A and B are shown apart, each in its own frame.
Chain A
Amino acid sequence: MTRRLVLLLAVVFAGIVAASARAEPIRVAVTTSFQNSGLADVLLPEIKADTGLDVQLIVVGTGQALRLGAAGDVDAVLVHARAAEEAFLAQGHGLHRREIMYNDFVLIGPAGDPAGIAGAETAAQALQRIAAAQVPFVSRGDDSGTHKKELALWNAAGLAPTGGWYRPVGAGMGATLNTASAMEAYVMADRASWLNFGNKGGLALLFSGDPALFNQYAFIPVNPDKHPHVRADLALKLEHWLASDRARELIDGYRVNGEKLFTFNAKQP
């Protein structure tokens, strides 16, 4: 028995040692919506083919993505929360902010639409109807870009959402949609995550199209002056690709169930 177990342990340790040698890749913290939309699966192989960059995605909320960037744990971030991004730059954590593309947020709810938001004129009015009807609304509640956007919309609607009907779950987009699906509650999601979501249950897209629901994604390379090990050269190479015509073609051409999800809007300097 001992000899066999010793052999097993030896094999395991050999495995650990063998695994330590590996090429240096570029790490990018991205938001859950970017990954859950499926766009990452389309772009990453193309990026690798065109630039040779092995992009490793750390999928977190915008709040945590910016924390990882500030700590120097990633080489760049791709997020969507303008105010937080500008604060990040103001503190010197990032080199610059480059807008890449946008998609939009949509309001989801039970197909029967008990609050009647489908006929609302604006996003603010839709939220006012949800609050007035006191129907369950699930919020991300995780300081992500989507969460910040939702809070800004409540603010614009002149409301401070509180009460038993308002349920912050402190989770990612997918987990929040799963919760809303199980509760038959209203929820705000980015269009991409919603279209790709596989557990829609009794939920339906009820309101979209208000320009206030615009969702801009921006790429920020982490400042190498603060963290010398950060591969700013690779981050700039990636940024160059993300703003290229090749990226435009792929981003604008990405469809889920025949629907266009993202619109490329990177400007050439």
Chain B
Amino acid sequence: MDSIFQGLGQAVRLIFTLDPDLYEIIAMSLRVTLSAVAIASLIGLPLGAWLAVNRFRHRRATIAVLNALMGLPPVVVGLFVYLLLSRSGPFGVLGLLFTPTAMIIAQVIIITPLIASIAHQAIRDLWAEYHDLLISMNATRGQRIRSLLWDGRRALLTAMLAGFGRAIGEVGAIMIVGGSIEHSTRVLTTAIALETSKGNLEFALGLGVVLIALAVAVNLLIHTLSGTERAPAW
């Protein structure tokens, strides 16, 4: 138990001593994860809505695969992206390996199925409700998707925050494609792994508390900005 209390103490000290290295690592964590969430949302939200309103062959199988991909093992994604971006791989000429961009690519692959699956679930329920109305208004497919996305925005926000949660705490993939280079691609999770490997367990736990605090802060900020839990139902 002593170690845990020391870890909490370390966290408080870390946050209030304004250690520039720590803030650099936090900034990198946020930059990578928020970028990944933004890109994955641009792909995942419309994909989820499209799957909800369209009927096509193998739809059930497509949705099942998408749901299964929510459980993609990050290490495998990391390895896959590494092989693509390696100098000996197909996209090696771009020189993206061990850069924040490589980390963003890996995270987009990890969280897009998650965001798309949650969005699909939410939009499907909404579509059941709106179906007759939108059909009778003779809305085009694009119009249907747009109105469903807009009216389901609160649920879609949840999808994005779920993606954020998975990405900010991810370590396996970004360790492989980012390399955890100090002052360059080190993020909170890889710093925690590094300190743990040095046996500095209290310091590692302190960083962990900072990571959790950061996730809570981002969630609170998004909820405040979007005014959830305040406005009347919609």
Contacts and interface: CB of A to CB of B under 8 A. Distances in A.
Interface of A: 1, 4-5, 8-9, 12-13, 15-16, 19-20, 25, 27, 32, 35-36, 56-59, 70-73, 172-175, 177-178, 181, 196-200, 227, 229
B197 A57 contact: no
A174 B31 contact: no
Given A197-B199, A199-B199, A57 B182 contact: yes
11 contacts: A12-B31, A16-B100, A56-B184, A58-B98, A71-B88, A71-B89, A73-B88, A178-B196, A197-B198, A198-B200, A229-B87
A70 B198 CA distance: 28
B197 A15 contact: no
Contacts, number: 92
A13 B197 contact: no
Nearest to B37: A12
A27 B86 CA distance: 13
Contact of B101 (A5, A20, A56, A71): A20
B199 A200 contact: yes
Contacts of B181: 27, 56-58
A36 B98 contact: no
A1 B38 contact: no
Contact of B197 (A1, A72, A174, A229): A174
Contacts of A198: 198-201
A236 B196 CA distance: 33
Best-surrounded residue of A19, A32, A36, A173 (most CB of chain B within 10 A) = A19
Contact of B38 (A12, A174, A200): A12
B153 interface: yes
Contacts of A197: 198-199
Contacts of A36: 197-198
Contact of B180 (A1, A19, A59, A229): A59
Contact of A72 (B88, B100, B101): B88
B179 interface: yes
A75 to B, nearest CB: 11
A4 B197 contact: no
B196 A1 contact: no
A225 to B, nearest CB: 14
Given A19-B31, A27-B98, A58-B179, A175 B226 contact: no
Interface in B16-52: 31, 34-35, 38
Query: Which interface class (under 10, 10 to 19, 20 to 34, 35 or more) fits B?
Result: 20 to 34
A173 B98 contact: no
A232 to B, nearest CB: 14
Best-surrounded residue of B38, B92, B101 (most CB of chain A within 10 A) = B38
B35 A56 contact: no
Contacts of A177: 199
Interface string B205-220: 0000000000000000
A174 B179 CA distance: 17
A35 B200 CA distance: 14
Pick the 8 closest A-B CB pairs, nearest first: A174-B197, A199-B199, A72-B87, A198-B199, A197-B199, A71-B88, A58-B179, A56-B181
B198 A174 contact: yes
B5 to A, nearest CB: 16
Contact of B225 (A5, A32, A199): A5
Contact of A173 (B31, B179, B197): B197
B90 to A, nearest CB: 13
B111 interface: no
Contact of B35 (A4, A16, A58, A175): A16
B97 interface: yes
Contacts of A227: 87
A59 B197 CA distance: 11
Contacts of B225: 1, 4-5, 8
Contacts of B35: 12-13, 15-16
